[in-house]
Structure 1
Amino acid sequence: MNIGTQILILEVPMESFFGKTTIYPVLLKDQDGLTLIDTGMLGQLEPLRKAIADAGEDINRLKRIILTHQDIDHIGNVHALLDLLPNTALLAHKDDVPYMTGERPFVKLTPERINLMDIALKQQAEDMIRRLPDLRFAHILEDGEHLPYGGGVQIIHTPGHTPGHISLYVPAQKLLLAADELRVVEGELVGPAESATPDMPLALKSLDKLTVLDAEKVLCYHGGFYDRNVQARLQALSQERG
């Protein structure tokens, strides 16, 4: 699915702790190459590569990766991509970068959780953690920052799901790329998953930043596309938190 000529929504099948599902990374297309927003689950480079090819693009044109936050279904293929394209620039919010470089332990990927994984996934998780100090970030993102990619995007710091979780707003398309701050469940736009959100009160407070946007469309990493009276729905979600 494309939104305009510069926003390409990928559909990537994912196997996780909760079974099979679909995730929705995004490609921003510019003359100098592609910017990928989030990389998918551990060990799933080939489904990601196929989704990029299905969108009519060449993975070798990838220039940048924006990581919305530290969860393994978002950063899982970052090392595989950098092995393939070592000059690819990494970008993430300052409050999650220390977790992605191994300076701090992951908020949710604890040793206890790793021990519950099957052998193959456990090995992949341990290998990723071992390689975290190798990651170098070309740019550290700040709340409110504007980037020129994909016709222009605004960084919105929406903490709670993780300390440095970001959403992105594309003004030219009135499109909110919500990452995990929002989900689409059974056709309805809802807030973050409580079971995966360590600081739920803060995550719900972060919704206030989204209500002021002139958004007509939302893309959620889990659940996909939503375009039914978005502003009213965001206001309702913000008010529901009391």
Structure 2
Amino acid sequence: MNMHHLLDIEFEYNGQKQIITPVLLQDKHDMILVDCGYPNFMPLLEEAANRHNCSLESITKLIVTHHDMDHIGSLAALKRTYPHIEIIAHELEAPYIEGTKKLLRLEQAESTFNALSDDAKPYAEQFIRFLQSIEPAAVDRTVSSGERLPCCDGIEIIHTPGHMPGHISLYLTASKTLIAGDAVVIEEGKLAIANPQYTLDMGEAIRSVQRLLDYDMEQIICYHGGLFDGDVQQALHQLIHTYNC
């Protein structure tokens, strides 16, 4: 039996309440976690998994949609605690996850630092130090667009760049479900582009949303917003129309 579990994790970050939604995919042979939150999130992940009668120890694979801090923060700790977990990421993301290239979000923060006001610089410095503290982890397997993992009756890798160059989304064929990562988010009940001011290539991000229309989707799960309640195709068309106007 194939299942997917939404691991809604509520927490406070910079004084604001936030929720992220990693996903657990389960079949007879595998337990796959998609993204793993900020650093020190293992207890929160364990608590969320336990709500679905699952445990982190049972995870066999961990798919990383991209290398932002809220998606890979606990990756190294998970791999250290459970070395049997196979880490999977897009081939373009692997060098950043493994630490052989500087995090693109860190490059972005450093390049804009001098243009900030004096009042903003202390917060930016704190953010830069936080990004520098993200622990790298080895990627066991790289994937590319169109590749199909045999788990859970088929998981198709969709390259959805824009937010990050190697960002991927996952299409679950059997349930016609898309795990979007940060390709899209839910804001006030509508699909939107994640943090446009931090999206590295807005044109690519819109083209990635356009690419999603090629898939027969009945559900879409966003890392920020959870399960979308509505007509997915219509919502994607509306999002594209908003940015093309």
Q: Same fold (TM over 0.5)?
A: yes
Question: CA separation in 1, counterparts of 2:32 and 2:221?
Answer: 16
Please state how far the C-alpha of 1:236 moved relative to its aligned partner: 2.3
1:233 to 228, 232, 235: 235
1:199 to 184, 191, 201: 201
- Conserved 8 A contact 1:115-1:122: no
- Unaligned 5+ segments in structure 2 are 114-120
1:75 to 59, 72, 76: 72
Label 1:140 to 1:211 Cα distance change in 2 as closer, same or farther (>3 A). same
In the alignment, residue 60 of structure 1 is paired with which amino acid? E
SS across alignment from 1:116: helix
Report sequence identity in percent: 33
Please state how far the C-alpha of 1:45 moved relative to its aligned partner: 1.4
Question: CA separation in 2, counterparts of 1:124 and 1:190?
Answer: 27
Question: CA separation in 1, counterparts of 2:93 and 2:203?
Answer: 18
Question: CA separation in 1, counterparts of 2:43 and 2:232?
Answer: 34
In the alignment, residue 229 of structure 2 is paired with which amino acid? D
Structure 1 counterpart of 2:13? 16
In the alignment, residue 104 of structure 2 is paired with which amino acid? V
Question: CA separation in 1, counterparts of 2:42 and 2:189?
Answer: 28
2:173 to 160, 171, 174: 171
Structure 2 counterpart of 1:63? 60
Question: CA separation in 2, counterparts of 1:53 and 1:30?
Answer: 17
Question: CA separation in 2, counterparts of 1:101 and 1:177?
Answer: 23
User: Which deviates more from structure 2 when the two are superposed, residues 157-166 or residues 227-236?
Assistant: 227-236
- Conserved 8 A contact 1:43-1:124: no
In the alignment, residue 13 of structure 2 is paired with which amino acid? S
- Conserved 8 A contact 1:6-1:151: no
Matched, 1:36 2:43: no
Please state how far the C-alpha of 1:78 moved relative to its aligned partner: 0.5
- Conserved 8 A contact 2:170-2:178: yes
Question: CA separation in 2, counterparts of 1:16 and 1:95?
Answer: 28
Aligned residues: 234
Please state how far the C-alpha of 1:16 moved relative to its aligned partner: 3.0
Structure 2 counterpart of 1:208? 210
Q: How does 1:210-225 map to 2 (within 5 A)?
A: 210-225=212-227
Please state how far the C-alpha of 1:18 moved relative to its aligned partner: 6.9
Task: Quote the RMSD (CA, aligned, Å).
Answer: 2.3
